[in-house]
A and B are shown apart, each in its own frame.
Chain A
């Protein structure tokens, strides 16, 4: 780091950025009609909401066990299906394996397209097409995992060591053999780590998928919220938080032991 990089040099540039950000702030506040005084105006409502919210209805806890298990099962199955499809596509998306710019560009474009659709919108769309239920949730998670993991995977494949590939092709291996024997061993631990990361993210997002009818614990959350049964909402949110925390901790440990 040199002295030229400190705040005082090129101050006019910083000023310009600051003004630009202020304009953005004002513009967004104007568009969204944000009024921060609203937060304080409704303080009595906030108090009544929070006072019920801090008294979770613990008697409801046993009934939450099954939907929570369903949510975990949905994420597990969805993650697995997504991973199965992600592996071949991530190989297709790199020029190292295909040696064909067209195929990899098309695969990358499709992956980018899939990743831009937010999970919940995808769930809402699939619910409308495939009907309400857990199967739709699994499908949503699978598509989401597919987009995320293949992106991470092809970036991992691009950074591998080329030596083993050259060695394998020198002894006459075909492309599939190269993929299995020279590339896969190099990215296996990264792949496992990404798989656990995907599972972690999926558990997080699958808890709210039920909100649009895609099964799991979100279904009860939606109905309790609609009935304004905040004691129940509170215990559901608490259960989600604890489950997500446990899954996070477990997957972090596994990922750390892999690294």
Chain B
């Protein structure tokens, strides 16, 4: 396993990798770093060390607390929409539901792959153009992107589920709907909820960034604060985001552990 046991192929690929890394290191443009100066860095650090606490809550609706709530709301609604819409796609794209018509599943899987391939930010850009800037554009961007993600994961779970249970039900004479309600839903529900919760967590993180392109949430005031170099405000917003994400991580972690 160690150096002596390495095959020629591994050594060649390692050397190639190192050459590639060097080439890319040489090729990149480092001129942007010239503007960096220690005094500016100290300025940033000093600003970050003094969070602007009065931004936390001032009752105007433009403070940290209400913006964080808005961000969570965007993530929550987006994930819920995605979960609801991902289920019909799962039903078309699972091979074990369409054993006699395998081409149907190709369509469903193709839809998922296309939706998944776009970065969320690009969906946000498109929806900002379509429905105008605001939290609703963020909801749609997250929702549409997550349909692809959740659709793929849901399909995988559906395909890997224990077919013996279904055979048993068929053997005792259950019809299609009885199988759905007595076997498939109870079997898949905890797994699907766990996946949806996990994606809610991811959605909160991306909802915090979508504001950069005008899709609502905490991102917009953050980018303004960064551009105007008011580091004290940046600091309080970052603290708020980190704490929110951390708390939600813990809560969803506990619920997911219970679901398993």
**A positions within 8 Å CB-CB of B:** 1, 5-7, 21, 24-25, 27-29, 31-35, 38-39, 42, 45-46, 49, 70, 72-74, 76-77, 80, 112-113, 116-121, 124-125, 127-136, 138, 181, 185, 188, 204-205, 207-208, 211-212, 215, 221, 225, 237, 240-241, 244-245
CB distance from A72 to the nearest CB of B (A): 8
Question: Contact between B41 and A129 (Cβ–Cβ < 8 Å)?
Answer: yes
Q: Does B234 contact A (CB under 8 A)?
A: yes
B residues near A45, Cβ cutoff 8 Å = 129-130
The complex places the Cα of A121 from the Cα of B28 at a distance, in Å, of 22
The count of residues in chain B whose C-beta lies closer than 8 Å to any C-beta of chain A is 73
User: Given A32-B139, A117-B241, A134-B29: A237 and B122 within 8 A (CB)?
Assistant: yes
CB distance from A194 to the nearest CB of B (A): 15
13 pairs, CB–CB < 8 Å, chain A vs chain B = A21-B80, A24-B80, A49-B129, A73-B27, A113-B242, A113-B246, A116-B246, A120-B121, A129-B44, A134-B28, A134-B30, A205-B119, A221-B122
User: Given A77-B25, A118-B205, A125-B226: A131 and B33 within 8 A (CB)?
Assistant: yes
Question: Contact between B28 and A138 (Cβ–Cβ < 8 Å)?
Answer: yes
User: Given A27-B73, A33-B134, A130-B32: A76 and B187 within 8 A (CB)?
Assistant: no
Q: Does B107 contact A (CB under 8 A)?
A: no
A residues near B44, Cβ cutoff 8 Å = 128-129
The complex places the Cα of A240 from the Cα of B119 at a distance, in Å, of 9
Question: Contact between B27 and A225 (Cβ–Cβ < 8 Å)?
Answer: no
The complex places the Cα of A28 from the Cα of B20 at a distance, in Å, of 47
User: Given A118-B205, A120-B209: A135 and B131 within 8 A (CB)?
Assistant: no
Q: Does B181 contact A (CB under 8 A)?
A: yes
Question: Contact between A32 and B135 (Cβ–Cβ < 8 Å)?
Answer: yes
**B positions within 8 Å CB-CB of A:** 1-2, 20-21, 23-25, 27-36, 40-41, 44, 69-70, 72-74, 76-77, 80, 117-119, 121-122, 125-126, 129-132, 134-136, 138-140, 162, 165, 181-183, 185-187, 205-206, 208-209, 212-213, 216, 219, 222-223, 226-227, 229, 234, 238, 241-242, 245-246, 249
Question: Contact between B31 and A133 (Cβ–Cβ < 8 Å)?
Answer: yes
CB distance from B222 to the nearest CB of A (A): 7
Question: Contact between A7 and B20 (Cβ–Cβ < 8 Å)?
Answer: no
Q: Which of A128, A131, A245 contacts B227 (CB 8 A)?
A: A128
